[in-house]
């Protein structure tokens, strides 16, 4: 069995998943800096690609939260871009997708959990935001609380399970078929990686939109 690369930073153990995560964050930061330091009316190739990606993400956000798109765009765009790169980085020889590590997916799910409440409180105020947990009846408060934790757990386990099973399936097929089927496996990995990134990001977007717009929906009722 292959042993994963690790090293100690004092009492903290740094693994390959964390190093890969830091590397992805660095890549996204560098690309964002390069593409925005000299913005032009007639954009070059890099600026055109980046603008197209941001416009696509912005369109998806506005379809779910039309009144708060600009507010949550930075978080959702960063999350989506990270997930896409993280899911695809496993295609690089010697690397594994950090999202096949439960600790990474759990951290992402916890980040979404706190972001949902932060955006909800920032938009509505603490009192109004907490009030939606008591509607339509205070009796449902325990169920609302349980649902908050269960959906966070589901976010982490869903992404972890799908990415782990995808890499294991690809490894087993390559062991059996050798290099007879590398292209189909490669295409399957790319498609599934993009789908899982989309699902996680879309669920996060729906949770954020629900928290921000909950008071508006309650007042309409």
The overall average pLDDT reported for the chain is 83
Summarised one tens digit per residue, pLDDT across range 190-213 is 888 899 999 999 999 999 988 887
Summarised one tens digit per residue, pLDDT across range 21-80 is 999 999 999 988 888 887 777 777 878 888 898 899 999 998 988 888 888 999 999 999
Taking CA atoms, 52 is separated from 59, 162, 213, 215, in Å, by 11, 28, 27, 33
Q: Which of 169, 74, 84, 81 is nearest to 115 (CA)?
A: 74
Summarised one tens digit per residue, pLDDT across range 103-132 is 999 999 999 999 999 998 888 888 888 887
Whether the predicted pLDDT of 180 surpasses 70: no
Q: Which of 128, 144, 152 is nearest to 217 (CA)?
A: 128
Tokens of 87: 């899911």
Residue 127, classed as helix, strand or coil, is helix
Tokens of 125: 């105020």
């Amino acid at each position: 069995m292959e042993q994963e690369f690790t090293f100690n930073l004092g009492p903290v153990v740094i693994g390959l998943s964390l190093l890969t995560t830091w590397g992805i964050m660095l890549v996204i930061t560098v690309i964002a800096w390069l593409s925005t330091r000299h913005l032009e009316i007639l954009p070059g190739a890099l600026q055109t690609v980046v603008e197209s990606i941001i416009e696509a993400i912005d369109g998806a956000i506005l379809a779910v939260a039309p009144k708060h798109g600009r507010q949550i765009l930075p978080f959702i765009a960063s999350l989506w871009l990270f997930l896409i790169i993280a899911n695809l980085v496993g295609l690089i020889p010697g690397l594994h997708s950090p999202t096949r590590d439960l600790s990474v997916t759990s951290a992402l799910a916890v980040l979404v959990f706190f972001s949902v409440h932060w955006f909800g409180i920032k938009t509505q105020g603490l009192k109004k935001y907490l009030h939606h947990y008591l509607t339509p009846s205070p009796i449902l408060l325990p169920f609302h609380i349980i649902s908050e934790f269960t959906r966070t757990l589901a976010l982490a386990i869903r992404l972890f399970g799908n990415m782990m099973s995808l890499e294991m399936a690809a490894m087993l097929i390559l062991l059996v078929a050798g290099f007879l089927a590398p292209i189909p496996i490669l295409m399957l990995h790319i498609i599934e990686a993009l789908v899982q990134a989309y699902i996680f990001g879309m669920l996060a977007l729906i949770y954020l939109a629900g928290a921000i717009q909950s008071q508006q929906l309650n007042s309409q009722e």
